[in-house]
Structures are given as C-alpha cells and as structure tokens.
C-alpha cells in the first residue's frame, strides 16, 4: 500500500501545497499567495488553510497520511524546526514553524530548506534517480542548491549546506545579493542579476531594443527574446550569464566532486540557449577528473519540485 504525505512549498510569493504518494504522484495541490508583507502569522494561517484544503479535497484525515513536509527559504534549522531569518519573508525571525503547526495538526512534521527539498525530489523521482552523489542548483530569482552525498540529503552542521548562490566569485563585485556579501554567484548569474546588468547598460546609453520596455517591467525572458532577435546587448548579457553559471558549476565540481549536477529553476527553461556556452567555461576551467566523472543535466520535475521534495521529507 502506498504511503501518502502532505508537502508544503513555502515561497516568497506563493505557497504550493498538496498530497503526494510514495511514487511521487501528486493527488491534489493548491497554490495560494504567500502575502508575506502581512507578517508571519498571516502566512502561517495561509499554510494551515492550504493543508486543510488539500486534506479535504482528497477526502483524507490527518491520521491517514505519514506527515507534513515543509520546504522553506533559509536560513533555517531543520533539526529544531525553526525558520531563522529568510530575506524574502519579512518579520520571520526565529519562527518555530514545526511546533506551531504541530499544535494544529497531530502528525509528524519535517522542515528543510526549499532547495534541499528540491534536490531530494530530483534524486528520488527526477533527473537524479540512481545517482548517489549529485548537486541540484536552482537558477531563478535567486540561486539555491542542495546536495545528495552517499545517497543521503546533506544538511551540513545546521541545515544551511549547499548555499551555492552565496559563494563569492568576485570579491569586489556588487552587493546585489540579499545576504549582503559582495560578488556572490547570485549577483552574477540569477535572473534578477541578469535584469540588473541589463538596466545598468541601458542607463549608460547602450543601444538596444530592450530600452523600449519600461524598466520596472523588464524581465529575464525579455532579454532572452531580444537575444534570439539578434540584439547585440542581449546577446552579450546571455554570454555573460552562461559564463558565470559555468564558473558556478566549476566550483561545485571542485567542492563536491559529484557524478551529476542538475540545473532547475526558471532559467533552466532557456537550457538550449545556455548549455553550450556554459559548458565551454566548464571545459576550460574545471579540474579534468572532476569534469570527466560529472554530467550536467536539466531538472525534470518542473514547478512542483518543491512540493514533491517537501512531501518526500516524511516519506
């Protein structure tokens, strides 16, 4: 008999909650706005409502599921169940989320970093099946990561391992990252940084079709579209994006020596545009033994990867 679990993917803008079986099949899920600006209690109420809705729509009682797994932005502590101070959840300082939810739902509840949960999902059900040493990287608004070492999710000493986006690739770089550190990979290779570099060039007077888009509406996808149209600035921005992603991959190979690196997140939708350029940097810079043992592939599970990983925490 298949076990069932509830997964909660807590993001800065939306909460994706659902019921999943032990084969990774989502039986039901609901997406609701996080409404983070309304404070922790309001967000927690939204989480509770989404869990209740998921149980109701699958006609399940709480004692019929193995538990509730939560993937949340870090920093957090998986062992204590505390969300410590995520930059995109205002007011969340040392929130004992697991204890709070246990008062409402009498079941096992597990918390982990959202990127760690996604790594677990890809390992069990996606592009990392059968791979005991792998690293998952999500490249979207920001950059996050999770590592599977020896077939097990690696949390580190206090659940904050594999913060791929926060290693410095330029000590004199911009402080665009929410962590405050200059020159983070996230400040060079995330979707947000891609847009920021574009705006910087446009403001300096560079000729580009991108200047026809209101600056407060400019998105990474606009830059990729412009590049496909042959826009010189957009092509340069994409070239830089692929280079910096390649540098990040080179460092991951050196840090973890994985057999596979899986790239997910919004920018993975541009895989065909980025891959060859990205891998040229990897070929030029990575240690040969590390590079030869490791393949770099696109994630398989799409937008529900966080929910799947969260549910997998209790399965």
List, for residues 109-129, the tens digit of each pLDDT value.
Answer: 999 999 999 999 999 999 999
131 sits in the region (left: phi over 0; alpha: psi -120 to 50; else beta) called: beta
The DSSP bridge partners found for residue 211 are none
Per-residue buried b or exposed e for 242-260, using 16+ beta carbons within 10 Å of the residue's own CB: bbbbbbbbbbbbeebebbb
Q: How many CA atoms lie within 13 A of 211 on its CB side?
A: 11
H helix runs in 69-166, sequence order = 97-104, 114-125
Please, are residues 6 and 55 in contact by the beta-carbon 8 Å criterion?
yes
Nearest to 144 by CA among 79, 109, 192, 94: 192
How many C-beta atoms lie closer than 10 Å to residue 143's C-beta? 30
- In which band, very low, low, confident or very high, does the pLDDT at 1 lie, cut at 50, 70 and 90? low
pLDDT at 159 over 90: no
More confident residue, 175 or 189: 189
What is d(CA 310, CA 289) in angstroms, rounded to the nearest whole number? 34
What is d(CA 227, CA 87) in angstroms, rounded to the nearest whole number? 32
Angle between helices 191-203 and 232-256 (to 10 degrees): 140
- Reported residue count of the chain is 315
Share of the chain above pLDDT 70, in %: 100
pLDDT at 178 over 80: no
Share of the chain above pLDDT 90, in %: 91
User: Burial level of 129, CB count in 10 A (0-12/13-18/19+)?
Assistant: exposed
Structure tokens given for 40: 């922790």
Once rounded to an integer, what is the mean pLDDT over residues 242-258?
97
- Give per-residue pLDDT as tens, 189-233: 999 999 999 999 999 999 999 999 999 999 999 999 999 999 999
**Would you give the end-to-end CA distance of the chain in angstroms?**
13
- In which band, very low, low, confident or very high, does the pLDDT at 175 lie, cut at 50, 70 and 90? confident
Average pLDDT across the chain, whole number:
95
Q: Does 75 sit behind a cis peptide bond, omega within 30 degrees of 0 on the bond before it?
A: yes
What is d(CA 168, CA 174) in angstroms, rounded to the nearest whole number? 10
pLDDT at 244 over 90: yes
Strands 76-77 and 134-139: unpaired
**Domains of the chain, each with CATH number or no CATH:** 4-120+304-313 (3.30.420.40), 130-299 (3.30.420.40)
- In which band, very low, low, confident or very high, does the pLDDT at 88 lie, cut at 50, 70 and 90? confident
Structure tokens given for 103: 């008062």
Give this prediction's pTM: 0.93
Q: In what order do the strands lie in the sheet with 260-264?
A: 152-154, 143-149, 134-139, 260-264, 295-298
């Amino acid at each position: 008999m298949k076990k069932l679990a509830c997964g909660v993917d807590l993001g800065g803008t939306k909460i994706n909650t659902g019921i999943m079986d032990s084969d990774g099949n989502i039986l039901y899920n609901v997406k609701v706005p996080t409404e983070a600006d309304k404070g922790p209690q309001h967000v927690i109420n939204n989480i509770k409502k989404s869990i209740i809705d998921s149980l109701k729509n699958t006609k399940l009682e709480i004692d019929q599921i193995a538990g509730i797994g939560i993937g949340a932005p870090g920093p957090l502590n998986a062992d204590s169940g505390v969300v410590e101070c995520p930059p995109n959840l205002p007011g969340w300082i040392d929130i004992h989320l697991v204890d709070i939810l246990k008062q409402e739902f009498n079941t096992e509840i597990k918390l982990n970093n959202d990127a760690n949960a996604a790594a677990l999902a890809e390992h069990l059900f996606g592009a990392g099946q059968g791979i005991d040493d792998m690293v998952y990287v999500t490249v979207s608004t920001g950059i996050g990561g999770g590592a599977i070492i020896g077939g097990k999710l690696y949390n580190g000493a206090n659940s904050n391992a594999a913060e791929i986006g926060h290693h410095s690739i330029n000590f004199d770089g911009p402080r665009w990252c929410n962590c405050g550190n200059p020159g983070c990979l996230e400040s060079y290779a995330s979707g947000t940084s891609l847009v920021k570099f574009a705006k910087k060039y446009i403001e300096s007077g560079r000729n580009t079709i991108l200047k026809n888009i209101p600056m407060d509406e400019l998105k990474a996808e606009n830059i990729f579209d412009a590049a496909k149209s042959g826009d010189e600035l957009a092509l340069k921005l994409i070239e830089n994006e692929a280079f910096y992603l390649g540098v990040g991959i080179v460092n991951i190979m050196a840090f973890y020596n994985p057999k596979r690196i899986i790239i997910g997140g919004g920018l993975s939708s541009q895989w065909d545009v980025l891959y060859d350029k990205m891998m040229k940097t990897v070929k030029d810079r990575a240690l040969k033994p590390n590079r030869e043992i490791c393949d770099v592939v696109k994630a398989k599970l799409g937008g529900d990867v966080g929910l799947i990983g969260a549910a997998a925490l209790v399965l």
